[in-house]
């Protein structure tokens, strides 16, 4: 099964590019973008996933404005052409790899349209590889890059147009590939325990640099993944060594106060421990919540990698404050946050997903809200 990519020197195995490097049914590739204005009035996000061993491609675009989240989703059969990153009315365009990408949405029947361009502010950073097994079963094994940028273009939501400009609209993106749970349950012998997952992720934009933070922890706080970085802005020259100026941290810490009855932060902070012994403390103050089910994450209707037919397109709409934060499909959120770091003031995202108990932050039960 040949495709246009097979004409490029990209192969990592003897198979054509259309075949995944792993036979695991959960092999995937994913694009994710978020964007927001400096005043915190609007938040938009897009995601597109490819699942070669499921022969599925799906995508979503979602906007929160005036407390209402509107989303459009599409899912289809995956063809052999990996250059075609489009499904239904949603397209991700690689204009200039690692520098300029486009997000195009033509879903006027559902009241959403977008012609958006992501312009990188920073070099991409490679997060440490994610690896987690449950006994002998591979649960996670993937790589992800993260990058910060500005947006330009236009957005139409429910008939209301919005100009998107680099001066006002910031954001970040990630690109990941490998193996992680998607689609239907894995099958085989059942696990001996209920699922547990604790995840915090914070890409932050400041005027003179960007900051990255994430942690994955077991129930008792043992950490199986972490990253902390201070990332320089692109200098605009042709030296190509901007990535060498990224400063990785020795380790990271966090503090979080949950909103009572939920698994969302009331306020939070992160601490970066540099290799020279200095510590950097950043306070995070949420100003808006973006439920990730608007992009299919944990969605009972538009979950990732699920077969829905040759082509299916649909839409969702709800008031964010009306969603029960204890429902499983509402647990995964990105909060738009103000970030205070010494005399720097920034804005960015604080993503949270906590399933089952997490002793260090006081969470008990499978989905119980914080007391």
DSSP per-residue letters across 199-228: EEEEEEE-SSEEEEEEEEE-TTS-EEEEEE
Q: Please give the residue that has the higher pLDDT: either 235 or 268.
A: 268
Q: What's the residue count for the chain? A: 371
CA 35 – CA 47 distance, rounded (Å)? 12
Q: Is 177 helix (H, G, I), strand (E, B) or coil?
A: strand
Average pLDDT over residues 76-104: 94
Confidence of residue 22 (pLDDT cuts 50, 70, 90): confident
Q: How far is CA 61 from the centre of its chain?
A: 12
Q: Coil, strand or helix: which one is 14?
A: coil
Which residues pair with residue 94 across a beta bridge?
A: 101
Give pTM, 2 decimals. Answer: 0.95
Indicate if the pLDDT at residue 56 is higher than 80: yes
Q: Give SS3 for 12.
A: coil
Q: What is the mean pLDDT of residues 305-324?
A: 97
DSSP labels for 323-366?
S-TTSGGGS-EEEEEEEEETTEEEEEEEEEEEES-BGGGTB-SS
Beta strands at 223-232 and 68-77: parallel, antiparallel or unpaired: unpaired
Options 3.50.50.60, 3.40.50.620, 2.40.370.10, 2.40.340.10; CATH of 4-361: 2.40.370.10
Categorise residue 362: left if φ over 0, alpha if ψ from -120 to 50, beta otherwise: left
Summarised one tens digit per residue, pLDDT across range 202-252 is 999 999 999 999 999 999 999 999 999 999 999 876 555 676 899 999 999
Tokens of 222: 């043992």
Determine the pLDDT at residue 335.
Answer: 98
How confident is residue 71, by pLDDT bands cut at 50, 70 and 90?
very high
Q: Please say if the pLDDT value at position 60 is more than 70.
A: yes
The answer to whether 105 and 86 are in contact (CB under 8 A) is no
CA–CA separation, 68 vs 315, rounded Å? 13
Residue 14's pLDDT band (boundaries 50, 70, 90)? confident
Residue 5 has pLDDT above 80, yes or no: no
pLDDT reported for residue 239: 52
As a whole number of angstroms, the distance between CA 66 and CA 44 comes to 12
Phi/psi at 221 (nearest 5 deg)? 95, -5
pLDDT digits (tens, 9 = 90+) for 108-131: 999 999 999 999 999 999 999 999
Does residue 7 have a pLDDT over 70? no
Q: What are the DSSP calls for 98-165, one per residue?
A: TTEEEEEEEEGGGTEEEEEEEEESS--EEPPPEEEEETTEEEEEEEEEEEEEEEEEEEEETTEEEEE-
Q: What is the per-residue pLDDT across 154-166, written as a single tens digit (0 to 9) for each?
A: 999 988 999 999 9
Residues 6+ apart with CB under 8 A from 55: 77, 78
């Amino acid at each position: 099964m040949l495709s246009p990519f097979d004409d490029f020197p990209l192969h990592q195995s003897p198979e054509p590019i259309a075949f995944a490097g792993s036979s695991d049914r959960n092999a995937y590739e994913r694009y994710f973008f978020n964007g927001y204005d400096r005043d915190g009035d609007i938040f938009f996000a897009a995601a597109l996933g490819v699942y070669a061993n499921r022969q599925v491609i799906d995508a979503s675009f979602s906007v929160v404005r005036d407390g209402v989240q509107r989303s459009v989703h599409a899912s289809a059969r995956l063809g052999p052409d990996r250059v075609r990153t489009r499904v239904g009315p949603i397209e991700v365009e690689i204009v200039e790899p690692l520098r300029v990408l486009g997000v195009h949405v033509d879903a006027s029947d559902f009241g959403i349209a977008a012609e958006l361009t992501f312009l990188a502010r920073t070099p991409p950073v490679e997060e440490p590889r994610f690896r987690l097994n449950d006994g002998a079963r591979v649960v996670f094994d993937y790589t992800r890059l993260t990058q910060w940028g500005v947006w330009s273009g236009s957005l139409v939501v429910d008939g209301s147009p919005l100009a998107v400009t680099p001066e006002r609209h910031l954001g970040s993106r990630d690109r990941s590939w490998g193996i992680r749970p998607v689609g239907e349950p894995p099958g085989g012998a059942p696990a001996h325990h209920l699922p547990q997952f604790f995840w915090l992720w914070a890409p932050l934009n400041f005027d003179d640099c960007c900051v990255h933070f994430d942690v994955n922890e077991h129930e008792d706080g043992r950490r199986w993944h972490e990253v902390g970085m201070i990332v320089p802005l692109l200098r605009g020259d042709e030296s190509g060594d901007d990535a060498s100026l990224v400063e990785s941290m020795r380790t990271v810490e966090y503090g979080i106060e949950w909103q009572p009855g939920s698994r969302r932060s009331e306020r939070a902070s992160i601490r970066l421990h540099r290799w020279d012994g200095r510590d950097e403390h950043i306070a995070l103050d949420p100003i808006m919540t973006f439920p990730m089910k608007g992009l299919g994450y944990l969605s009972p209707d538009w979950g990732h990698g699920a077969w829905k037919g040759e082509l299916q397109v649909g839409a969702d709409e709800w008031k964010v404050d009306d969603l029960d934060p204890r429902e499983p499909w509402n647990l995964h959120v990105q909060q738009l946050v103000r970030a205070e770091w010494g005399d720097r003031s920034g804005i960015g995202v604080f993503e949270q997903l906590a399933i089952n108990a997490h002793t260090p932050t006081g969470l008990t039960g499978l989905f119980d809200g914080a007391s």
